[in-house]
Amino acid sequence: MYYKACSKWARVLWIALFVLYGALLLRLTMLRDGLFVSHPRAEDRVILVPFWSYSEFLRQGQYIQFRYQLIGNVLCLLPLGFFCGFFKKDCSLVRAALTCLGATLCIECWQLAFDVGYFELDDLSLNLVGGIIGYALYLLVRDLYGLLTKKT
C-alpha cells in the first residue's frame, strides 16, 4: 500500500484526507479558542521538567484534563506518522520520527511565539510516540494489504 500505486481517485481522496488532517491539527494546536488550555502553572510559558504538568493535573484532581492532554498529545501526530510511510515509499522509522519531531517542534515554537499554548517537553515526547505508533500502523496496514491482495 503506497500512494503512487493507488488509482487517481484514491490519490485525490488520500490528499484530501491529509489536507483535512492538517487543517484539524492547525485548529487544535495553533488556532484554538481556549478549550482545555488551562494549565496548572499558567505563569510558566516554557515547561522543561518532563511530565510536570501531568503530575500536577493528577495532584489537583483534574483527571479529565490529564486524559485529554495525555491521549490528545499521542493522537495528535499519529496520522502524520502514518502519512509519512504512505506518501514516501522508502520512508524509514527514523525519517518518520524526525518528521514528527520537527512538526511538533514547529507547533511548540508557534504556541510559545503567539501565546496560544505552552512549550513543553511532554508534548515533544508524546507527539513523537504518537508519530511512531502511526508509522507502525502504516507498516501493519501495508503488510495486511499486501497479504490480502497477493496473487498466488
Say how many residues make up the chain: 152
Output the pLDDT for position 146.
86
Output the pLDDT for position 43.
60
CA–CA distance, 54 with 39 (Å, rounded to integer): 10
Write down the residue that cell numbers 510559558 correspond to: 45
| Closest-CA residue to 122 (of 58, 66, 48) | 48
C-beta separation of 76 from 127 below 8 A:
yes
pTM for this predicted structure: 0.86
Ranges of each domain in the chain: 3-33+48-149
The three-state secondary structure class of 46 is strand
Write the CB contacts of 14 (distance below 8 Å, at least 6 apart in sequence).
Answer: 3, 6, 86, 87
Output the pLDDT for position 112.
85
CA–CA distance, 19 with 42 (Å, rounded to integer): 32
Output the pLDDT for position 47.
84
Secondary structure percentages of the chain, helix, strand, coil, to 5: 70, 5, 25
Tens-binned pLDDT, residue by residue, of the chain (152 aa): 688 888 999 999 999 999 999 999 999 888 876 545 555 455 667 888 888 889 999 999 999 999 998 999 999 999 999 999 999 989 999 999 999 999 999 999 988 888 888 888 999 999 999 999 999 999 999 999 888 888 65
Single-letter amino acid, residue 119: F
